[in-house]
Amino acid sequence: MAIKFERVSFQYTSMDNKGYLALADINLSINKTGEFITLIGETGSGKSTLAQHMNALLQPTEGRVHIFGITVDDKTKKQRKIKLNPIRKQVGLVFQFPEYQLFEETVEKDIMFGPKNFGVSTEEAAKRAEKMIEVVGLDASYLKRSPFNLSGGEKKRVSIAGILAMEPEILILDEPTSGLDPIGRNALLDVFYNIHTELDKTVIIITHDMNTVYEYAKRVMVMREGVLVYDGDPVALFSKSNIDRWNLDVPDILGLTRDLEAKFDYKFTEPPRSRKALFKALEGMLK
Ligand SMILES: Nc1ncnc2c1ncn2[C@@H]1O[C@H](COP(=O)(O)OP(=O)(O)OP(=O)(O)O)[C@@H](O)[C@H]1O
Ligand SMILES: [Mg+2]
């Protein structure tokens, strides 16, 4: 098991010293390979807080998180001998707001920062920057630009490139496609999906987009007011009762298949989860 949460709770302390319970008694396990997980939930439900516990940026106020053999709890900060650096290398987290992640004077330096910090040579880090800028859909001309003069979507892509360049074992992306146009969104999702399938890495995506959940995920987690209320199959998540209970948007493809089934009094043996799969199923139906 790469990551394991044991009864994890987390309380933010604010200026007025009133605590806010952002995570309540979370138990979960994540494998090093083979997982493509989406994490969903209403705004303020604790998704980003949960993600930051997966690479020890935040430490639980109760319970324990085990990350690649290192145990993190409320005493970890005080015990300086526990090195959190290896965790940050193994579990790459792309922040929801790229501004938190970009700070160098050029895009190239920004992408190279992570790998260099973990012992990669300058030459190799530069090579990775050149490769990753293309992977996230920008060209090499961006490398010499300042990350601060980019559009929101471009900043997002640069911050993703910086984490990809670290070659983490597990990749966590906090709303990586918010604010991108649909073509850019799908292209980036395909990048993440290829990292999952070709490099056999676990990818976790936080999203508000139910199409991403339905079309890509193998597993979905649902947060609600700091509680993990669902952890399982994406198809089963969208049962009528769950949609009502958690006020979920119906994924486009699912809405369409249900309409088709109702109109033609037909039942798909396996519900298609993408346009491609739907067209294929329709072909069979029309023949
Ligand atoms: N630094 C902080 N201090 C105090 N409370 C915080 C802090 N950061 C977040 N919170 C609170 O903790 C709760 C969970 O926040 P979190 O950012 O994890 O939600 P989220 O599910 O990621 O929401 P969104 O979809 O809007 O990104 C929210 O109610 C938020 O107000
Ligand atoms: Mg968030």
Burial 161-184, CB ≥16 within 10 A → b, else e = bbbbbbbbebbbbbbbbeebeeeb
**In this prediction, what percent of the chain has a pLDDT beyond 70?**
99
Mean pLDDT of 52-74: 96
Predicted local confidence at residue 201, as pLDDT: 93
Predicted local confidence at residue 69, as pLDDT: 94
Residue nearest (by alpha carbon) to ligand 1 atom 26:
43
Question: pLDDT at residue 44 above 70?
Answer: yes
Structure tokens at 202: 């676990």
Residue 12 near ligand 1, beta carbon < 6 Å? yes
Predicted local confidence at residue 83, as pLDDT: 79
Answer yes or no: are the C-beta atoms of 112 and 126 closer than 8 Å.
yes
Banded model confidence at residue 82, pLDDT cuts 50, 70, 90: low
Residue 14 near ligand 1, beta carbon < 6 Å? yes
Which residue among 10, 12, 207 has the greatest number of ligand 1 atoms within 8 angstroms of its CB, and so is best to mutate? 12
Predicted local confidence at residue 16, as pLDDT: 77
Banded model confidence at residue 269, pLDDT cuts 50, 70, 90: confident
Residue 49 near ligand 1, beta carbon < 6 Å? yes
Strand-pair category, 70-72 with 19-30:
unpaired
Banded model confidence at residue 15, pLDDT cuts 50, 70, 90: confident
Structure tokens at 123: 């030459």
What would the pLDDT profile of 182-238 be if each residue is shown by its tens digit? 888 899 999 999 999 998 999 999 999 999 999 999 999 999 999 999 999 999 999
Residue nearest (by alpha carbon) to ligand 1 atom 24:
43
CA angle at residue 156 from 54 to 99, to 5 degrees?
Answer: 80
Which of residues 59 and 79 earns the better pLDDT score? 59
Between the CA of 264 and the centroid of ligand 2 the distance, in Å, is 41
Taken in order of first residue, the domains within the chain and their CATH numbers are: 31-53+82-249 (3.40.50.300), 251-287 (no CATH)
If you average pLDDT over every residue of the chain, what do you get?
A: 93
Answer yes or no: are the C-beta atoms of 101 and 147 closer than 8 Å.
no
Banded model confidence at residue 81, pLDDT cuts 50, 70, 90: low
Nearest-atom number in ligand 1 for the CA of 51 is 18
Question: pLDDT at residue 84 above 90?
Answer: no
Mean pLDDT of 144-171: 94
Which of 56, 46, 51 lies closest to 76, judged by CA?
56
Question: pLDDT at residue 80 above 70?
Answer: no
Predicted local confidence at residue 252, as pLDDT: 95
Residue 155 near ligand 1, beta carbon < 6 Å? no
